[in-house]
Amino acid sequence: MKTPERSAALGRVLAIETDRLPKDFAAKVAALAKSNSAPWRLSGNDLGLLGAFAAMLCLCAAGWLTFGTQESARAEWFGPIVGAMASCPWLVIGVAGVALVQALNFRRRATT
Amino acid sequence: MNQERDEHARVRAVLVNEAKAFESLVRDYQQLCWHIVSRMVRDPDDARDLCQETFLRVHRQLHQFRFECPLKSWIGRIAYSIALRHLERRRAAPVSLLEDKGELALESLADESFDLEAACADEQIAIRLREGVDALAAVPRTLVTLFHLDELSIAEIATITGMSEGTIKSHLFRARLSLRDWLRRRGVSTP
Protein backbone atom coordinates (compact mmCIF):
# COMPACT_ATOMS: atom_id res chain seq x y z
CA MET A 1 0.00 0.00 0.00
CA LYS A 2 1.47 3.33 -1.00
CA THR A 3 1.97 6.16 1.46
CA PRO A 4 -0.78 8.80 1.44
CA GLU A 5 0.13 12.21 0.15
CA ARG A 6 0.89 14.73 2.85
CA SER A 7 -1.17 17.89 2.64
CA ALA A 8 0.37 21.15 3.85
CA ALA A 9 -3.02 22.83 3.44
CA LEU A 10 -4.71 20.31 5.71
CA GLY A 11 -1.83 20.84 8.12
CA ARG A 12 -2.66 24.56 8.18
CA VAL A 13 -6.33 23.77 8.82
CA LEU A 14 -5.34 21.46 11.67
CA ALA A 15 -3.05 24.09 13.14
CA ILE A 16 -6.04 26.31 13.98
CA GLU A 17 -6.57 25.64 17.66
CA THR A 18 -8.83 27.30 20.17
CA ASP A 19 -7.34 25.53 23.17
CA ARG A 20 -3.71 25.02 23.99
CA LEU A 21 -1.37 24.39 26.88
CA PRO A 22 -0.72 27.36 29.17
CA LYS A 23 2.42 29.35 28.48
CA ASP A 24 4.03 28.38 31.77
CA PHE A 25 3.23 24.68 31.33
CA ALA A 26 6.86 23.58 30.98
CA ALA A 27 8.00 25.50 34.07
CA LYS A 28 5.12 24.19 36.17
CA VAL A 29 5.60 20.59 35.13
CA ALA A 30 9.36 20.82 35.71
CA ALA A 31 8.77 22.21 39.22
CA LEU A 32 6.23 19.48 39.96
CA ALA A 33 8.55 16.75 38.70
CA LYS A 34 11.36 18.16 40.84
CA SER A 35 9.23 18.22 43.98
CA ASN A 36 7.94 14.70 43.28
CA SER A 37 11.44 13.32 42.94
CA ALA A 38 12.99 15.19 45.87
CA PRO A 39 13.82 12.92 48.82
CA TRP A 40 11.43 13.49 51.68
CA ARG A 41 12.89 15.23 54.71
CA LEU A 42 11.34 15.83 58.08
CA SER A 43 10.76 19.58 58.21
CA GLY A 44 9.94 21.76 61.20
CA ASN A 45 6.27 21.63 60.30
CA ASP A 46 6.32 17.85 60.10
CA LEU A 47 8.00 17.69 63.50
CA GLY A 48 5.32 20.01 64.85
CA LEU A 49 2.58 17.79 63.46
CA LEU A 50 4.29 14.73 64.89
CA GLY A 51 4.57 16.44 68.28
CA ALA A 52 0.90 17.46 68.19
CA PHE A 53 -0.09 13.91 67.41
CA ALA A 54 2.02 12.55 70.27
CA ALA A 55 0.60 15.19 72.62
CA MET A 56 -2.92 14.21 71.62
CA LEU A 57 -2.14 10.56 72.36
CA CYS A 58 -0.67 11.51 75.76
CA LEU A 59 -3.73 13.60 76.54
CA CYS A 60 -6.02 10.70 75.72
CA ALA A 61 -3.93 8.34 77.85
CA ALA A 62 -3.92 10.81 80.76
CA GLY A 63 -7.68 11.30 80.43
CA TRP A 64 -8.24 7.61 80.43
CA LEU A 65 -6.02 7.04 83.47
CA THR A 66 -7.73 9.86 85.37
CA PHE A 67 -11.39 9.34 84.48
CA GLY A 68 -11.60 6.13 82.52
CA THR A 69 -11.46 3.78 85.49
CA GLN A 70 -14.35 5.59 87.22
CA GLU A 71 -16.53 5.66 84.10
CA SER A 72 -15.77 2.20 82.83
CA ALA A 73 -18.35 0.55 85.05
CA ARG A 74 -21.13 2.60 83.41
CA ALA A 75 -19.76 2.44 79.88
CA GLU A 76 -19.76 -1.29 79.47
CA TRP A 77 -19.52 -1.13 75.69
CA PHE A 78 -16.20 0.58 76.02
CA GLY A 79 -14.58 -2.19 78.06
CA PRO A 80 -14.25 -4.85 75.31
CA ILE A 81 -12.77 -2.31 72.92
CA VAL A 82 -10.15 -1.23 75.43
CA GLY A 83 -9.51 -4.86 76.26
CA ALA A 84 -9.01 -5.73 72.60
CA MET A 85 -6.68 -2.78 72.14
CA ALA A 86 -4.69 -3.68 75.24
CA SER A 87 -4.34 -7.28 74.08
CA CYS A 88 -2.68 -6.26 70.80
CA PRO A 89 -0.77 -3.03 71.42
CA TRP A 90 1.41 -3.48 68.32
CA LEU A 91 -1.67 -3.43 66.13
CA VAL A 92 -2.78 -0.17 67.75
CA ILE A 93 0.68 1.33 67.32
CA GLY A 94 0.75 0.14 63.69
CA VAL A 95 -2.64 1.63 62.87
CA ALA A 96 -1.66 4.89 64.57
CA GLY A 97 1.61 4.90 62.61
CA VAL A 98 -0.16 4.38 59.28
CA ALA A 99 -2.60 7.16 60.14
CA LEU A 100 0.30 9.44 60.99
CA VAL A 101 2.17 8.68 57.76
CA GLN A 102 -1.00 9.25 55.73
CA ALA A 103 -1.59 12.57 57.48
CA LEU A 104 1.99 13.69 56.78
CA ASN A 105 1.75 12.54 53.18
CA PHE A 106 -1.52 14.36 52.67
CA ARG A 107 -0.01 17.48 54.13
CA ARG A 108 3.05 17.22 51.89
CA ARG A 109 0.91 16.80 48.75
CA ALA A 110 -1.30 19.67 49.76
CA THR A 111 1.66 22.02 50.08
CA THR A 112 3.41 21.05 46.78
CA MET B 1 24.10 10.66 14.40
CA ASN B 2 24.35 14.21 15.69
CA GLN B 3 20.75 14.09 16.76
CA GLU B 4 21.41 10.88 18.67
CA ARG B 5 24.38 12.47 20.44
CA ASP B 6 22.27 15.49 21.32
CA GLU B 7 19.58 13.26 22.75
CA HIS B 8 22.14 11.37 24.86
CA ALA B 9 23.44 14.65 26.25
CA ARG B 10 19.95 15.94 26.84
CA VAL B 11 18.78 12.83 28.66
CA ARG B 12 21.95 12.79 30.76
CA ALA B 13 21.37 16.43 31.69
CA VAL B 14 17.87 15.64 32.92
CA LEU B 15 19.04 12.57 34.83
CA VAL B 16 21.70 14.54 36.71
CA ASN B 17 19.09 17.22 37.49
CA GLU B 18 20.84 19.94 35.51
CA ALA B 19 19.00 23.21 35.95
CA LYS B 20 16.27 23.84 33.36
CA ALA B 21 17.15 20.66 31.42
CA PHE B 22 13.78 19.03 32.01
CA GLU B 23 11.91 22.28 31.47
CA SER B 24 13.59 22.68 28.11
CA LEU B 25 12.74 19.08 27.20
CA VAL B 26 9.09 19.68 28.11
CA ARG B 27 9.02 22.89 26.08
CA ASP B 28 10.36 21.12 23.00
CA TYR B 29 7.91 18.23 23.07
CA GLN B 30 4.82 19.76 24.68
CA GLN B 31 3.26 20.61 21.35
CA LEU B 32 3.54 17.06 20.04
CA CYS B 33 2.14 15.79 23.34
CA TRP B 34 -0.74 18.28 23.14
CA HIS B 35 -1.53 17.29 19.56
CA ILE B 36 -1.69 13.61 20.50
CA VAL B 37 -3.60 13.98 23.74
CA SER B 38 -6.02 16.72 22.69
CA ARG B 39 -6.97 14.84 19.53
CA MET B 40 -7.54 11.62 21.45
CA VAL B 41 -9.33 13.27 24.38
CA ARG B 42 -11.64 16.06 23.34
CA ASP B 43 -11.99 17.81 26.68
CA PRO B 44 -9.25 20.48 26.92
CA ASP B 45 -9.03 20.31 30.73
CA ASP B 46 -8.59 16.53 30.64
CA ALA B 47 -6.04 16.96 27.87
CA ARG B 48 -4.01 19.42 29.95
CA ASP B 49 -4.04 17.06 32.95
CA LEU B 50 -3.01 14.14 30.76
CA CYS B 51 -0.17 16.16 29.21
CA GLN B 52 1.07 16.89 32.71
CA GLU B 53 0.77 13.21 33.61
CA THR B 54 2.71 12.33 30.45
CA PHE B 55 5.67 14.52 31.32
CA LEU B 56 5.70 13.44 34.95
CA ARG B 57 5.89 9.86 33.72
CA VAL B 58 8.63 10.83 31.27
CA HIS B 59 10.57 12.31 34.18
CA ARG B 60 10.07 9.18 36.31
CA GLN B 61 10.96 6.72 33.56
CA LEU B 62 13.64 8.57 31.64
CA HIS B 63 16.35 6.37 33.17
CA GLN B 64 14.69 3.44 31.36
CA PHE B 65 14.98 5.10 27.94
CA ARG B 66 17.38 2.96 25.87
CA PHE B 67 17.66 5.16 22.74
CA GLU B 68 16.08 2.41 20.63
CA CYS B 69 13.89 5.06 19.00
CA PRO B 70 14.03 8.87 18.89
CA LEU B 71 13.15 10.57 22.17
CA LYS B 72 10.26 12.31 20.38
CA SER B 73 8.68 8.96 19.50
CA TRP B 74 9.22 7.61 23.02
CA ILE B 75 7.49 10.63 24.57
CA GLY B 76 4.75 10.42 21.94
CA ARG B 77 4.19 6.77 22.80
CA ILE B 78 3.77 7.60 26.48
CA ALA B 79 1.30 10.38 25.62
CA TYR B 80 -0.63 8.08 23.30
CA SER B 81 -0.88 5.23 25.81
CA ILE B 82 -1.99 7.60 28.60
CA ALA B 83 -4.67 9.10 26.36
CA LEU B 84 -5.79 5.66 25.15
CA ARG B 85 -6.11 4.39 28.71
CA HIS B 86 -8.11 7.50 29.60
CA LEU B 87 -10.52 6.74 26.73
CA GLU B 88 -10.80 3.10 27.79
CA ARG B 89 -11.67 4.19 31.31
CA ARG B 90 -14.33 6.48 29.85
CA ARG B 91 -15.45 3.62 27.58
CA ALA B 92 -15.14 5.89 24.55
CA ALA B 93 -14.55 4.19 21.20
CA PRO B 94 -11.14 5.31 19.92
CA VAL B 95 -11.73 3.99 16.39
CA SER B 96 -14.81 4.58 14.28
CA LEU B 97 -16.67 1.59 12.91
CA LEU B 98 -16.26 2.35 9.24
CA GLU B 99 -17.12 -0.46 6.88
CA ASP B 100 -14.11 -2.24 5.51
CA LYS B 101 -13.79 -1.45 1.82
CA GLY B 102 -10.42 -3.06 1.26
CA GLU B 103 -7.11 -1.27 1.13
CA LEU B 104 -6.75 -0.95 -2.64
CA ALA B 105 -10.25 0.36 -3.16
CA LEU B 106 -9.73 2.91 -0.40
CA GLU B 107 -6.50 4.07 -1.92
CA SER B 108 -7.94 4.63 -5.38
CA LEU B 109 -11.14 6.25 -4.12
CA ALA B 110 -9.22 8.66 -1.96
CA ASP B 111 -6.80 9.66 -4.65
CA GLU B 112 -9.04 10.04 -7.67
CA SER B 113 -11.63 12.52 -6.55
CA PHE B 114 -10.57 14.55 -3.56
CA ASP B 115 -8.09 17.38 -3.86
CA LEU B 116 -7.33 18.42 -0.30
CA GLU B 117 -5.09 21.30 -1.32
CA ALA B 118 -7.82 22.85 -3.43
CA ALA B 119 -10.45 22.23 -0.77
CA CYS B 120 -8.41 23.94 1.95
CA ALA B 121 -7.76 27.02 -0.18
CA ASP B 122 -11.32 28.19 0.37
CA GLU B 123 -11.74 29.58 3.87
CA GLN B 124 -15.32 28.35 4.32
CA ILE B 125 -14.41 24.89 3.12
CA ALA B 126 -11.38 24.91 5.39
CA ILE B 127 -13.65 25.64 8.38
CA ARG B 128 -15.99 22.80 7.32
CA LEU B 129 -13.00 20.56 6.88
CA ARG B 130 -11.80 21.38 10.37
CA GLU B 131 -15.22 20.41 11.70
CA GLY B 132 -14.95 17.21 9.71
CA VAL B 133 -11.60 16.38 11.30
CA ASP B 134 -13.12 17.04 14.73
CA ALA B 135 -15.95 14.65 13.85
CA LEU B 136 -13.53 11.80 13.15
CA ALA B 137 -13.03 9.18 15.85
CA ALA B 138 -10.15 9.68 18.27
CA VAL B 139 -7.52 7.48 16.63
CA PRO B 140 -8.00 8.58 12.99
CA ARG B 141 -8.14 12.21 14.16
CA THR B 142 -4.84 11.75 15.95
CA LEU B 143 -3.22 9.98 13.00
CA VAL B 144 -4.34 12.70 10.59
CA THR B 145 -2.88 15.33 12.92
CA LEU B 146 0.44 13.54 13.36
CA PHE B 147 0.79 12.98 9.63
CA HIS B 148 -0.41 16.28 8.18
CA LEU B 149 0.32 18.74 10.99
CA ASP B 150 3.34 17.35 12.83
CA GLU B 151 4.64 15.88 9.58
CA LEU B 152 5.79 12.66 11.20
CA SER B 153 6.68 9.75 8.98
CA ILE B 154 4.48 6.66 8.90
CA ALA B 155 7.28 4.77 10.71
CA GLU B 156 7.37 7.37 13.51
CA ILE B 157 3.60 7.24 13.87
CA ALA B 158 3.84 3.44 14.02
CA THR B 159 6.35 3.70 16.88
CA ILE B 160 4.10 6.08 18.78
CA THR B 161 0.84 4.19 18.32
CA GLY B 162 2.12 0.62 18.15
CA MET B 163 0.05 0.09 14.98
CA SER B 164 1.41 -1.46 11.80
CA GLU B 165 2.32 0.90 8.97
CA GLY B 166 -0.39 -0.65 6.77
CA THR B 167 -3.05 0.03 9.39
CA ILE B 168 -1.94 3.64 9.70
CA LYS B 169 -2.04 4.19 5.94
CA SER B 170 -5.44 2.57 5.82
CA HIS B 171 -6.69 4.89 8.57
CA LEU B 172 -5.30 7.90 6.70
CA PHE B 173 -7.04 6.91 3.46
CA ARG B 174 -10.28 6.24 5.31
CA ALA B 175 -10.03 9.59 7.08
CA ARG B 176 -9.57 11.30 3.72
CA LEU B 177 -12.67 9.53 2.42
CA SER B 178 -14.62 10.48 5.52
CA LEU B 179 -13.61 14.12 5.09
CA ARG B 180 -14.68 14.09 1.46
CA ASP B 181 -18.06 12.57 2.42
CA TRP B 182 -18.39 15.07 5.26
CA LEU B 183 -17.96 17.98 2.85
CA ARG B 184 -20.33 16.49 0.29
CA ARG B 185 -23.03 15.94 2.87
CA ARG B 186 -22.80 19.63 3.71
CA GLY B 187 -23.20 20.64 0.11
CA VAL B 188 -19.57 21.51 -0.48
CA SER B 189 -18.42 20.32 -3.86
CA THR B 190 -14.76 19.48 -3.96
CA PRO B 191 -12.74 19.74 -7.11
Q: Would the pLDDT of B96 be above 80?
A: no
Task: Return d(Cα B71, Cα B146) in angstroms, integer.
Answer: 16
**Least Cα separation, residue A88 to chain B (angstroms):** 40
Contact yes or no for B59 and A33 at CB 8 A: yes
CB contacts < 8 A, A to B, total 103
DSSP class per residue in B142-182: HHHIIIIIS---HHHHHHHH---HHHHHHHHHHHHHHHHHH
DSSP A65-92: IIIIHHHTTT-TTHHHHHHHHHH-HHHH
Instruction: Report the alpha-carbon distance of residue B36 to residue B77 in Å, rounded.
Output: 9
Residues 6+ apart with CB under 8 A from A32: A112, B52, B56
* Residue-level pLDDT at A19: 86
Per-residue model confidence (pLDDT) at position B104: 39
pTM for this predicted structure: 0.70
Nearest CA in chain B to A18: B44
A10 and B144: CB-CB below 8 Å? yes
The rounded distance, in Å, linking the Cα atoms of B149 and B141 is: 11
pLDDT per residue as tens digits for the range B98-119: 434 444 344 444 444 556 667 6
Angle, in degrees to the nearest 10, between helices B165-185 and B123-135 = 130
- pLDDT at residue B167 tops 50: yes
- Residues of chain A positioned with their CB less than 8 A from the CB of B116: 5, 7, 9-10
Please give the full DSSP string across B26-93, using - where no structure is assigned. HHHHHHHHHHHHHHHS--HHHHHHHHHHHHHHHHHHGGG--SSS-HHHHHHHHHHHHHHHHHHHHT--
Reading chain A (112 residues) residue by residue, the pLDDT tens digits are 788 888 888 888 888 888 889 999 999 999 999 888 876 677 777 888 888 888 888 888 877 777 766 655 556 676 777 777 777 778 888 888 888 888 887 776 665 5
Partners of residue B26 in chain A, C-beta under 8 Å: 25-26, 29-30
Looking at the complex, report in whole angstroms how far the Cα of residue B78 sits from the nearest Cα belonging to chain A.
16
Pick from A35, A26, A29: which is nearest to A111 by CA? A35
What is the three-class DSSP state of B133? helix
- Give the per-residue pLDDT at B129: 85
pLDDT digits (tens, 9 = 90+) for B36-67: 999 999 899 999 999 999 999 999 999 999 99
User: In the prediction, which pLDDT does B177 show?
Assistant: 87
Chain B, nearest residue to A33 by Cα: B56
Residue B111: exposure state from Cβ atoms within 10 A (0-12, 13-18, ≥19): middle
pLDDT band at B80 (very low <50, low <70, confident <90, very high): very high
Distance of CA A102 to the CA centre of its chain: 4
pLDDT of residue B98: 42
ipTM of the complex: 0.80
